Amino acid sequence: MGGDPLRARSRSLARSTGLVAAGLLGAAISVIRLFATSAQHEPERAVPTPHAHAPSPVPDPERDRPRGDDREPPLVAARPVLFTVIGFLAFVAVSLVGLRAYYVWEVRSPVVTPPRPFAPPRLQTDPVSDLNRLKAQQRAQLTGYGWVDRDRGLARIPIERAMDLIAARGPDAYAPLEPPAAPSPVRGPETAP
């Protein structure tokens, strides 16, 4: 799936820009609807009089009664909130587009380099001949004679010869080779003086 990387990058940038624009458009429409509905239901405000000795306002019992729509008027100034939200969304959109453009234009190589395989350890230069040599050495130990411990008189004999000696013993083949040592005399209970 080869292709021009610059063309693929421009398509990706156009796609991300389109998604950001669609998100901003949706946010702007919802904020405008909020502003339009809040402007329709704003309470009428009394204009303060510039007189220093103005009489205090007379309470109006009609003002506290619920109107026909039974909705509470908003107490939030919608225009500053609207401008703040739109400004924030515009800042986020411009930042995203700017960061994406910077990434496309500045990053030329892959961000994550693929791992390189390590060289195999050089413990054995020729493992096949080493294995054959080990098998020959073990075969020689199993089929030949040799000393295990010359001082104690222990020798190694071939497996075939050892099996013939065991078979020649008959039913006592697995009896101990040396008779057990004589038990030591047991001392009686000692009495305390």
124 belongs to a structural domain: no
38 belongs to a structural domain: yes
Which residue in 77, 78, 89, 72 sits closest to 36, CA to CA? Answer: 78
Parallel/antiparallel/unpaired status of strands 154-156 and 146-149: antiparallel
85 belongs to a structural domain: yes
What is the reported pTM? 0.29
Q: What are the pLDDT tens digits along the chain (193 aa)?
A: 445 655 666 666 667 677 777 777 777 777 777 766 665 555 555 545 555 555 556 666 666 665 556 666 667 778 888 889 999 999 999 999 999 888 888 887 777 888 888 887 778 888 899 999 999 999 999 999 999 899 988 899 999 999 998 899 888 888 887 777 777 776 656 655 5
> What is the domain count for the chain?
2
Same domain, 15 and 95: yes
Same domain, 150 and 81: no
